Amino acid sequence: MRVCVAGTGYVGLTTGVSLAYLGHDVVCVDHDPDKVESLRSGRPPIYEPHMDALLAEASERLTFTTDYAEGVPGADVVFIAVQTPSLPDGNPDLRYLRSAADSVGRCVAGGFTVVVNKSTVPIGSGNWVDAILREAFESQHGRRPAGEFSVASNPEFLREGQAIFDTLYPDRIVIGSDNPRSLDVLNRLYRVILNQTFTPPTFLPRPAELGAVPMVSTDLASAELIKYAANAFLATKISFINEIGVVAGKVGADVMQVARGIGLDARIGPRFLEPGVGWGGSCFGKDTAALITTAGDYHHEMPIVSAARTVNQQQRRAVVDRLLQELRILKGRRIGLLGLAFKPDTDDLRDAPAVDVARQLIAHGARVSLHDPVAGERFRREQPDLAPRLCDTLDEVFDDSDAVVLVTKWSQYLDLDWEKYVGLMREPVVLDGRHALDRGRLERMGYRYLSITGA
Ligand code: UDX
């Protein structure tokens, strides 16, 4: 099938590259000529495991351009996957979506095109995109559209760092559409994923337990709400275990054992019960805020989702409180933060807990040094005022420090030769912000181990 993808961020690029790998002809459009140039020469502008390999395997069926006219006319499916960042009032900024929908509406021609919204949008945006497409079509063609296109919603559940895995082996595919023809087109587009009949890439084998992938087909509004509800639930699940962690710390219980003990109940499930400094990233904060705002439009508060956000902020503050408790005074103390990206295997710094924690420590007068195995370059660009605190080596982070904090669970930190560094520190305090380090081992080496829950 012929596919066009507007936007080459995480979602758009993963979608485009994966669909080309699966045998479709894909044109990816992005307004940024530098991105397009870099992708044409096989260099993904984002750090995502396996992306370059898949890009190389799919290159014959994949084109990158800045021009919608090269991709939209004659496409069976156009995905709109542009960014929808949060505005200060919690609403998403839909400017890029409007502009993409306008360009698509002008270029759509020939046959029947399903325009799929993959950006996370407020509930009801399907109708809004449809109106923009119609207006743009009419201004270009001088007549109203007569069934040339139809809008569908196909929310994305991919995790950064596992984006390609999640696209090829999803838990489910959700399609929202009020038009049976669109449903049929998208069913055909995704058939090889739904039935798992494609040859897996050598570097990403199919999980043994995976059978056919369920498809959830709904109306537009339900599909849009599924995305928000899923993210709000996951964010709440993490905040829930973090809240339990606080109580565990008070009563002397081990929150990791508690998480295991409840997670084995099939109704709860073991995933997303890892306690720590909490969630960050481009989705959970933005989507929970947008969901609360949408509910507010109908005069409904969302106390559970709001509380999940509050608890998440508390977790970031807990790092500072724990250090204050241990070191008493933070002024002048040298504190190293291990990990800047909001989670391992990505260089994404959006809503990263480390940035918040660093700023809070600095406000307390601490001398903060920062390290990340991958996100350093991006950090320099995006947080220029904090950039001088960035260290290239771990020796610099540990040297003469009063504490180091594990903020992001990069495997490099878990596998670190901790013994080598203990002697460099002025005070050998390690605050494990992810419950990921081996306490006994570190204590035998001479570290003073603190967990974020205070136990
Ligand atoms: C998330 C959703 O998982 C995905 O389905 C959606 O499409 C986009 O948002 P992502 O932001 O890539 O994906 O990250 P994810 O792996 O879900 O982690 C989110 C945050 O939660 C990270 O900061 C992570 O460190 C944190 N987390 C995750 C925890 O603190 N504890 C956990 O148990 C799991």
Of 65-79, 90-104, 165-179, 425-439, the range with the lowest mean pLDDT is 90-104
Residue spans of the domains in the chain: they are 2-216, 219-455
pLDDT of residue 123: 85
- For the chain, what is the mean pLDDT? 95
- Decide if pLDDT at 455 tops 70: no
CA of 405 to the centre of ligand 1 (A): 20
pLDDT of residue 343: 95
- Decide if pLDDT at 245 tops 80: yes
Distance, in Å, from the CA atom of 341 to the CA atom of 339, rounded to the nearest integer, reads 6
**Structure confidence by residue, pLDDT tens digits, 121-145:** 888 888 999 999 999 999 999 999 9
**Structure confidence by residue, pLDDT tens digits, 383-413:** 999 999 999 999 999 999 999 999 999 999 9
The ligand 1 atom at the shortest distance from the C-alpha of residue 120 is 7
The conformation of residue 328, written as its DSSP 8-state character, comes to S
CB 76 within 8 A of CB 1: yes
Domain 2-216 identical in fold to domain 219-455: yes
Query: Counting beta carbons within 10 angstroms of the beta carbon of residue 376, is it exposed (0 to 12), middle (13 to 18) or buried (19 or more)?
Result: middle
The candidate with the shortest Cα–Cα distance to 290, out of 119, 81, 86, 129, is: 86
- The domain made up of 219-455 has a fold known as Rossmann fold (3.40.50)
Domain 2-216 classified CATH 3.20.20.70? no
Mean pLDDT in residue range 359-374:
98
For 334, the token pair is: 């040298």
pLDDT of residue 374: 94
Task: Determine which residue's CA is closest to atom 15 belonging to ligand 1.
Answer: 159
Name all residues whose Cβ lies below 6 A of ligand 1: 156-160, 231, 234, 238, 272-274, 276, 278-281, 283-284, 342-343
**Structure confidence by residue, pLDDT tens digits, 331-344:** 999 999 999 999 99
For 326, the token pair is: 């241990």
Distance, in Å, from the CA atom of 200 to the CA atom of 221, rounded to the nearest integer, reads 33
CA of 159 to the centre of ligand 1 (A): 7
| Phi/psi of residue 213, nearest 5 degrees | -95, 125
**Predicted model pTM:** 0.93
Task: Determine which residue's CA is closest to atom 26 belonging to ligand 1.
Answer: 279
- Percent composition of the chain: helix, strand, coil (DSSP 3-state, to 5): 45, 15, 40
pLDDT of residue 86: 77
Q: How confident is the model at residue 45 (pLDDT cuts 50, 70, 90)?
A: confident
Q: Which residues are catalytic?
A: 283
CB 190 within 8 A of CB 170: no
Residue 94 known to bind ligand: no
Residue 30 known to bind ligand: yes
Task: Determine which residue's CA is closest to atom 28 belonging to ligand 1.
Answer: 272
**Structure confidence by residue, pLDDT tens digits, 279-317:** 999 899 989 998 999 999 999 999 999 999 999 999 999
